[in-house]
Amino acid sequence: MNYTPAQPNPLVFLIDRSQGKKTIADALKQEGAEVYVHDDLFPADTEDEHWLHEVGNRKWVVLTKDLRIRYRTSERLAVKTANIAMFTLTARDCQGSEMADIFVKALPRIARFLKKNRPLFIAKVTRRGEVSMLIDLH
């Protein structure tokens, strides 16, 4: 299943540090997605508020497995002020290769979701690759 980014604005993904550096990024790149990894761009101890702001300025899409971010007021506010589109994996007991498979399966749904929803949200991605709104921050 090859993901074909919509032109002229292909999606660019940032894999947050909770998901490692290689497996997920490599799988998404193999599908044609443009992908960056948190720790390749930011020091490991960078506050979420800072890197979210940078990613928002670049209009990149965040992929994470940090479901708790929705409960942390400062980070939720950073998602909102940085104009972020964030997708968080809901499956808790996955290894890197399974997370990669899930995000690859979800890529077309993520692309459709982004066409229908403006940034300022946290959406969830289930183990089956289904995508739905978790928090609309508008």
pTM value is: 0.90
Q: What tens digit of pLDDT does each residue of 26-47 get? A: 999 999 999 999 999 999 899 8
Q: What is the pLDDT of residue 15?
A: 95
Q: What is the pLDDT of residue 73?
A: 84
Q: What is the pLDDT of residue 2?
A: 52
Q: What is the pLDDT of residue 4?
A: 54
Fold topology of 12-136: Rossmann fold (3.40.50)
Q: CA-CA distances (angstroms) from residue 12 to 49, 73, 78, 85, 98?
A: 19, 26, 19, 11, 21
* 96/23 Cα distance (integer angstroms): 6
For the chain, which ranges sit under pLDDT 50? 6-8
Q: What tens digit of pLDDT does each residue of 67-83 get? A: 787 788 888 888 999 99
